[in-house]
Every structure is written in structure tokens, then in C-alpha cells.
Structure 1
């Protein structure tokens, strides 16, 4: 990798690849003070009355960036939603942060435009991270985060109220 490619990779360009789950995990780690929680499917099993029948395995946690760095990135991501390219995802009363981006790729080398919007969100003690991928958006972007931001907003409104 050349120095130019390494520099572009540092801001998510060039040959950087990530799945939506990986991007949601990045966002969640930033919301957790730089601690990455391994993805898990089952936290606990309950009966119809809510009584816990079995607890799931406790997921592992790893400090992947310092709490200070995570805080700086959360602040930058919050600014993107408050005043920048993710403004279509704003939700009154919720702490949000976003990172809209575009990527090219696809099966057989086809050029498919994707829009990613990743964010940590908090409201009334609830928090979540969302990654949205919208395929075939064409080359034109949107100043407010476009359809990815609007989809993420609807998902988060449903989840955090």
C-alpha cells in the first residue's frame, strides 16, 4: 500500500471494506467509551410472564480506543447530525451522532452506490447503534444524509421512543 493509499484509508476511502454489522459495532464502541462488546444474539430467555429461565453467555468486552478518543469522535459525529451531512436523522431530545458515507462495490465488480449512516443514539436511558445501507443511490449525494439518514431516524424513533 502506498502512502497515499494509507492516507485515504485513514478517512475510509481506497480499499477499505466493512460490513454494516462492523460499522454498527464501531458506533456502539464509541457510545460505550471505546469498549467493544462482542455481538451476541441472546441475552436471556424468559417465559410469558417475563421470568428469566436462563441467562445467555456474558459477551466479551475489549477496550479498542481510549475513552477520550471515543468522546472526541462522538462529539464530531454529533456535529454531523446537528449541523452537517446527517441532519435528516435529527430526533428532538435524543443524543445522536452520524457518519454518512458512500461506497462502491458489488458482485462481479459491478459499481453499486451505497449510503452508510452509522450512529450511536441515547434517549431516556435507552441506547442503540444503527448502520443503514441503501443500494443503488447513484453518484449524487445529499447534503442531509439522504435516504440513509431518514431510514436510520425512523428505526431509532421506533426503538428509543
Structure 2
């Protein structure tokens, strides 16, 4: 019986050591998970911020295209300003390209935020992803408007060239 009791104590010690190993492993995994989740949250918030900034850049590009189109329209009243009109068209096209690039950046950032949310649907991440998606939509709208304005500037230039 003493020998049997000895075996029980040995097994109990082994089980206690295994349990301690499991606890330590759990603590390590839990710590790593918390660090990964914290990094994921930070990246999501940065993606949302990048999307908002890209949307602002697209809006500024839209305004640049509008100003270039207006300059082309004003300059087109005098045939001697054909070079000004051409420069305005180039500026409008460049602004439209910048708006498209900004919209693409906003979409990429919004996609990154959405991917993070798909991993961990926390309220803060959902809000950041939603804001990124809204910013991406605004950037796309600005890009579309910038392209439209650059096309209008090109039409003004084409009409002016025909009348010369």
C-alpha cells in the first residue's frame, strides 16, 4: 500500500507540474494575443486616418482641377491666351490624376481597416472601418468630379483651337 501511495504522489506531482506548464503556456499565449490585438487596433486606426487624409487630398485635387478649368474658361475669351488655356488643361489633368491616386490610396486604407475588422469585430474597429469606407467614397467622388472638370477644360481648349 505504501508503494501504491508513493505512485499516487508521483503522479500527482507530475500532474501538478503539467498544470503549471499549461498555466505558463496560457500566460504566454494570452500576452502574445493581447499584443497582437493591440497592434491590430493601432493599424486599423492608422488605416482609417490614412483613408481620411487621402480623401482630403482628393478633395484638394478636385479644387485644383476646378480652378484650372475656371482659368481655362476665363482665358479662352481671348484667343491670345491659348497657351494659358493649354497649361490650365494640363493642370486640370494632373489634378484629376492626383485625385484618382488619392482615391486609390483611400480605398486601400479602407480595405486594410475592413480586413482588421473581419478578424476582430470590436466596436472601435467597426467605427474606424466605417469612417475609412466613408472617406474612400468621398475620395472617389472627388476623383470623379476632378476627371469631369479636366474633361471640361479639355473641351474649352478644343473649342478655342477650332475657333483660331
Smaller-chain TM-score bracket:
under 0.3
Q: Which has the higher strand share?
A: 1
Question: RCO higher in 1 or 2 (8 Å CA, sep ≥ 6)?
Answer: 2
Larger radius of gyration: 2
Q: Which has the higher helix share?
A: 2
**TM-score w.r.t. length of structure 2:** 0.24
